[in-house]
Amino acid sequence: MRKSLFFISAASFSLVFLLNGCGTLTSPIKEKQSANVGNQVTQQVVAAPVYKRGEIISSPEAAQQLLIEGNRRFTSGNTLSKDLSLTRRSDLIKNGQHPFAVILSCSDSRVPPELLLDQALGDLFVVRVAGNVVSPVEVGSIEYAVEHLNVPLVVVLGHEECGAVTAAVQGGENHGSIEDILDKIKPSVSKARKSGAIGKDLIEKSSDLNIQNALCEISKSPIIQEGVKAKQIRIIGAKYDLDEGVLKFMNDYSI
Ligand SMILES: [Zn+2]
């Protein structure tokens, strides 16, 4: 059962989602109380890591900080220049890839992770599927990144006004395999309806719950569970605001 769901700005940090089945929350990082939310929401205090391009990132906290800083650059228009040269491409072949985050995101053309997080070649391991739904194929991709590439952070990235979520809310006939995607989202829509949400709120609440559901599915992986319990990886939800360009990390999650 969903207990609570909050989002904090990209300038803040999220609680860590540690797994015990599907949805126990703890935070191993020093916290301070936030006064602006009714329920007790905590914000983590983490020193910003000093990151050099090409450096291997093994800390989930450092990886999240890099995403926060990247999204901040994106929204401010001060994105970094990207090294797309043959030298860089050759380096990634010679020395291998060391992405610091897995991003499972919607296929929506307005939500390209590398752009909105201002990252370059070799930085992100991206899995994209309409509605950011999770099947064993997506879990396998994430497991590969965690187990073989030692990626410390897994982010399920949904977004506002998601077409797949909207289609699941509106119902109606869909052809081909589109229905397979919507079937993954419909349980979240049902939960959102039971909460009394209507209209646009229903779509966004369904989207939030769909992110949670994806986290739940990912958390069933023994490989992911092992990494989380060892505090080597973190899995976390996030939602992207289409017009403001801000990515907000999910702060509290429980199923
Ligand atoms: Zn979408």
> Which residues neighbour ligand 1 (ion) by CB within 5 Å?
106, 108, 162
Domain contains 84: no
Cα 38-39-41 angle, rounded to 5 deg: 105
Contact between 44 and 13 under an 8 Å Cβ cutoff? The reply is yes
Q: Is the pLDDT of residue 19 over 90?
A: no
Provide the domain limits for residue 163.
Answer: 7-78+90-250
Residue 13 lies in a domain: yes
Q: What whole-number distance in Å separates Cα of residue 64 and Cα of residue 137?
A: 24
> What does the pLDDT read at residue 173?
85
**How much distance in Å is there from the Cα of 40 to the middle of ligand 1?**
30
Nearest in space to 122 (alpha carbons), one of 53, 179, 222:
53
The model's confidence at residue 11, banded by pLDDT at 50, 70 and 90, is very low
Average pLDDT over residues 109-124: 97
pLDDT at 192 over 80: yes
Query: pLDDT band at residue 172, thresholds of 50, 70 and 90?
Result: confident
Q: How much distance in Å is there from the Cα of 106 to the middle of ligand 1?
A: 5
- Specify the higher pLDDT residue, 10 or 133: 133
The Å distance, Cα 167 to ligand 1 centre, comes to 10
74 in a structural domain: yes
What is the pLDDT confidence band of residue 21, given thresholds at 50, 70 and 90? very low
Single-letter amino acid, residue 145: A
* CATH number of the CATH domain containing 182: 3.40.1050.10
Q: Structural domain tally of the chain? A: 1
Give yes or no for a contact between 218 and 154, defined as CB atoms under 8 angstroms apart: yes
First to last CA, the chain: 4
Candidates 151, 147, 91, 130; CA nearest to 214 is 130
Query: Could you tell me if residue 2 is inside a domain?
Result: no
pLDDT at 100: 96
Q: To the nearest whole number, what is the mean pLDDT of the chain?
A: 83
Residue at 64 is within a domain: yes
Residue 1 lies in a domain: no
Does the structure show a pLDDT above 90 at 62? yes
Q: Distance from the CA of 255 to the center of ligand 1, in angstroms?
A: 22
In a domain, 62, yes or no: yes
